[in-house]
């Protein structure tokens, strides 16, 4: 796939110049050799007009805008795909990380053409995937209650932040993303009324342009708020926190796609502007340190979180991919000891996405979301501090059912990064690290970013969120829950069995009696 | 309302292009002359005649009107090239009637193609 798209890039450039020239060539041959050549003149003329429209007229399809007619091949294969694939190619469900069926759902929601499907599910029902358990007494729509979540209320934070939809755009930096991609997401977030995380890319110049609510992410390199030695510059942070758009601060400890390793931005993607915004040199990969300078153990970590809370005056969260549960338990106990908690913890699953990461980290390090989330939830419960903070989750939560399942397992809101990239038209070309993204989302090549029409794409984000929310409501009603807070693990078939006793230290084993009655009767393993 | 206008356009287009095609098939002397001038007689005449008749049938069919309109526009572009490069505006002292029909055909198939562009095979979904 990668090879094919790079080819597409070159070949399409040839086609785009060859096509208008061939009109002239055919025209000359038709007039001088044989009139029959004018069949070619007319055909190439019509194709050139179509190509012109694709490249400079329409704004719906970034791929066509970037590559013109040649990219049309992709749409043709897509439209005759089901028939072809049945015999020739990969099945609808065999692509990774998101299969075609999953992506198609987001595309439809984002384009506002979500409709029903027929005949039956495409999913492999023999696997252990999450399934929601509906109630025998579903609710009517009128019985549902609006969603609301207030960050910072636990410690009476003066500038607490309230969201009214359980969805946010997960961290993606300017750097990983192109400027128009960032602006499309930011404008979309504004239109949809959800917050957007800035990612660890330093001063959020493009994020700020659209006026959406922002969660400023502070990565281990602290781009945007660092001293030269990599420690936190309190005054820069305080200044940034003053911006009305910045509603919360997120300290990134680790990320599912590369847990235990710092952020990574390949040198191909470092432009003058990015070098300036991050205060780094061009021509080198930018590799963030694996940990915050200030955080060497539980006690210094908790103090650091408190310091960020005090300096910024905003709700402060921590993002982590769960590693050894015992360490997290220790951290929570330290929070209790210091009586100081982050305002939220966001659990990133090992299946999470990234702009660039070593494959072994992407594939083989960290706890997947279901297990990680359930473990964090049970540790917080066992330590009796669940009410002291909010819990968020991310990791392939791109469709309503997965989001609801995560919320049933303890998350109070969900983050998605790649769901929103798909909504912007990501075709999963898997080139985020190479500056060659064919749809212009994760590249700084002006030839490719020109395909991204900010207004169009922000509308897709808005529609995607609206469609998700509508289905959340429908699912809640069918599960018999009036609001998201009523979701419980027993609404998910197979939940809790996911916290395998051997991964938790003895204190965190989920007691058997916690498994709800119905779940146990269904034969769920403890 | 809108669809009535489009159907009228389709009908006019089908009549003009179908008629022209049939005339060519039947060996209308003017057409023979023109195609001789283009150096396409008789094979080219039959080829174009077939395309025209197919276009007329597609236009009349309704569900395939979009490709029909495209085909009509394509053949008309060819005809316009012929008039522009070889034949001249006036054919056999017809006062430009040929050309007027051509332009009319373009004027009626254009809207059909535009309104029904999404029905085009393969490319329709992107238009
Ligand atoms: C292109 C891209 C860039 C990302 N950049 C960051 C980042 O700067 N900081 C961070 O904490 N996570 C980053 N992530 C991870 C996401 O925020 C998110 O945690 C992860 O992808 C899981 O969500 P998803 O499965 O919905 O994509 C990035 C992900 C992608 C795809």
Q: What's the Cα-to-Cα distance from A436 to each of A66, A98, A430, B14, rounded to whole Å?
A: 11, 20, 10, 47
Q: Taking CB atoms and an 8 Å cut-off, how many pairs form between chains A and B?
A: 50
Taking the CA of residue A420 as reference, the ligand 1 atom at the shortest distance is 26
pLDDT bin (cut points 50, 70, 90) of residue A522 is very low
Q: Which residue of chain B comes nearest to A65, CA vs CA?
A: B126
Range with the poorest average pLDDT among A14-23, A508-517, B9-18, B46-55: A508-517
A125 lies within 8 A of chain B by CB: no
d(CA A341, CA A316) in angstroms, rounded, equals 9
Summarised one tens digit per residue, pLDDT across range A424-463 is 999 888 888 888 898 999 999 998 999 999 999 999 999 9
Is there a contact between A38 and B81 if contact means CB atoms under 8 Å apart? yes
Is there a contact between A79 and B38 if contact means CB atoms under 8 Å apart? no
B42 lies within 8 A of chain A by CB: no
Is there a contact between B126 and A61 if contact means CB atoms under 8 Å apart? yes
For atom 5 of ligand 1, which residue has the closest CA?
A: A172
Summarised one tens digit per residue, pLDDT across range A223-282 is 999 998 889 999 999 999 999 999 999 999 999 999 999 888 888 899 999 998 888 888
B63 lies within 8 A of chain A by CB: no
A479 or A509, which is more confident?
A479
Is there a contact between A38 and B82 if contact means CB atoms under 8 Å apart? yes
Task: Give residues (CB < 6 A) around ligand 1.
Answer: A 170-173, 176, 199-200, 217, 252, 255-256, 263, 319, 348, 352-355, 394-398, 416-419, 432, 442
Q: What's the Cα-to-Cα distance from A324 to each of A343, A346, A358, A504, B107, rounded to whole Å?
A: 22, 16, 21, 8, 72
Give A60's contacts in chain B (Cβ within 8 Å).
Answer: 126
pLDDT > 90? residue A291: yes
The partner residue sitting opposite B78, judged by closest CB among A31, A42, A54, is: A42
Query: Do residues A214 and A198 touch, judged by C-beta distance below 8 A?
Result: yes
A348 alpha carbon to ligand 1 midpoint, in Å?
9
pLDDT > 80? residue A95: no
Per DSSP bridges, beta strands A131-132 and A492-493 are antiparallel
Give B39's contacts in chain A (Cβ within 8 Å).
Answer: 34-35
pLDDT bin (cut points 50, 70, 90) of residue A60 is confident
Cα four-point dihedral sign A54, A60, A64, A65:
positive
B38 lies within 8 A of chain A by CB: yes
Structure tokens at A336: 């209790």
A198 alpha carbon to ligand 1 midpoint, in Å?
10
Taking the CA of residue A255 as reference, the ligand 1 atom at the shortest distance is 11
Give A79's contacts in chain B (Cβ within 8 Å).
Answer: 122, 125
Query: Do residues A372 and A328 touch, judged by C-beta distance below 8 A?
Result: no
Q: Which residue of chain A comes nearest to B47, CA vs CA?
A: A36
User: What torsion, rounded to 10 degrees, do the Cα atoms A67, A68, A74, A80 define?
Assistant: 180
B39 lies within 8 A of chain A by CB: yes
Residue A405 makes CB contacts below 8 A (sequence gap 6+) with A130, A132, A491, A492, A495
Taking the CA of residue A171 as reference, the ligand 1 atom at the shortest distance is 17
Interface test with B, best of A32, A35, A59 (most B CBs within 10 A): A35
pLDDT bin (cut points 50, 70, 90) of residue B70 is very high
Q: Which residue of chain A comes nearest to B43, CA vs CA?
A: A36
Average pLDDT over residues A124-133: 68
Q: Which residue from B43, B44, B49, B60 is spatially nearest to B6, judged by alpha carbons?
A: B60
Chain B nearest-CA distance from A458, in A, is: 19
pLDDT > 70? residue A340: yes
SS3 assignment, position A251: strand
Is there a contact between B70 and A46 if contact means CB atoms under 8 Å apart? yes
């Amino acid at each position: 796939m990668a090879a094919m798209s790079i080819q597409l890039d070159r070949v399409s450039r040839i086609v785009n110049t060859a096509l208008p020239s061939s009109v002239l060539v055919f025209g000359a041959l038709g007039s001088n050799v044989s009139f029959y050549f004018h069949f070619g003149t007319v055909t190439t003329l019509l194709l050139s007009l179509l190509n012109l429209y694709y490249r400079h007229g329409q704004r719906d399809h970034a791929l066509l805008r970037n590559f013109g007619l040649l990219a049309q091949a992709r749409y043709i294969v897509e439209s005759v795909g089901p028939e072809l694939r049945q015999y020739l190619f990969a099945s609808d469900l065999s692509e990774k990380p998101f299969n075609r069926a999953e992506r198609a759902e987001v595309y439809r929601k984002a384009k506002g053409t979500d409709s029903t499907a027929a005949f039956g599910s495409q999913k492999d029902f023999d696997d252990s995937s999450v399934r929601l358990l509906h109630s025998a007494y579903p609710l009517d729509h009128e019985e549902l209650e609006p969603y609301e979540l207030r960050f910072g209320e636990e410690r009476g934070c003066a500038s607490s932040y309230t969201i009214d939809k359980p969805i946010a755009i997960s961290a993606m930096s300017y750097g990983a993303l192109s400027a128009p991609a960032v602006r499309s997401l930011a404008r979309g977030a504004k239109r949809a009324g959800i917050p957007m995380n800035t990612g660890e890319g330093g001063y959020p110049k493009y994020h700020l342009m659209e006026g959406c609510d922002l969660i400023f992410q502070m990565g281990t390199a602290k781009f945007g708020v660092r001293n030269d030695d990599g420690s936190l510059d309190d005054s820069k942070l305080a200044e940034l926190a003053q911006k009305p758009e910045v509603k919360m601060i997120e300290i990134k400890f680790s990320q599912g796609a590369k847990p235990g390793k710092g952020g990574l931005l390949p040198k191909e993607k470092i432009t003058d502007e990015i070098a300036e915004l991050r205060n780094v040199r061009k021509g080198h990969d930018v590799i963030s340190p694996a940990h915050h300078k200030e955080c060497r153990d539980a006690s210094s970590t908790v103090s650091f979180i408190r310091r960020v809370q005090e300096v910024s005056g905003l709700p402060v969260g921590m993002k982590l991919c769960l590693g050894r549960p015992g360490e997290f338990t220790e951290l929570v106990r330290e929070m209790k000891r210091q009586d100081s908690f982050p305002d939220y913890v966001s659990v990133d699953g090992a299946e999470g996405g990234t702009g660039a990461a070593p494959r072994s980290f992407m594939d083989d390090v960290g706890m997947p979301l279901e297990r990680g989330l359930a473990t964090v939830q049970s540790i917080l419960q066992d330590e009796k501090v669940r009410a002291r903070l909010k819990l968020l989750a991310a990791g392939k939560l791109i469709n309503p059912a997965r989001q609801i399942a995560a919320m049933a397992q303890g998350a109070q809101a969900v983050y998605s990064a790649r769901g929103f990239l798909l909504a912007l038209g990501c075709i999963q070309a898997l080139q985020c690290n190479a500056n060659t993204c064919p749809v212009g989302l994760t590249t700084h090549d002006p030839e490719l970013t020109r395909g991204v029409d900010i207004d169009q794409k922000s509308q897709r984000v808005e529609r995607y969120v609206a469609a998700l929310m509508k289905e959340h409501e429908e699912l809640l009603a069918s599960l018999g829950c009036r609001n998201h807070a009523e979701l419980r693990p027993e609404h998910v078939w197979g939940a809790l069995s996911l916290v395998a006793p051997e991964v938790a230290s003895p204190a965190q084993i989920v007691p058997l009696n916690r498994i709800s009655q119905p779940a146990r009767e269904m034969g769920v393993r403890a | 309302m809108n669809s009535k206008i489009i159907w009228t356009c389709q009908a006019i287009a089908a009549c003009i292009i179908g008629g022209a095609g049939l005339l060519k098939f039947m060996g209308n002397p003017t057409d023979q002359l023109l195609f001789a001038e283009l150096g396409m007689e008789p094979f080219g005449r039959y080829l174009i005649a077939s395309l025209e008749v197919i276009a007329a049938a597609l236009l009349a069919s309704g569900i395939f009107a979009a490709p029909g309109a495209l085909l009509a526009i394509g053949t008309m572009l060819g005809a316009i090239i012929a008039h522009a490069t070889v034949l001249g505006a006036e054919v056999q002292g017809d006062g430009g009637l040929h050309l007027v029909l051509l332009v009319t055909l373009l004027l009626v198939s254009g809207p059909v193609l535009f309104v029904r562009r999404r029905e085009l095979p393969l490319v329709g979904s992107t238009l």
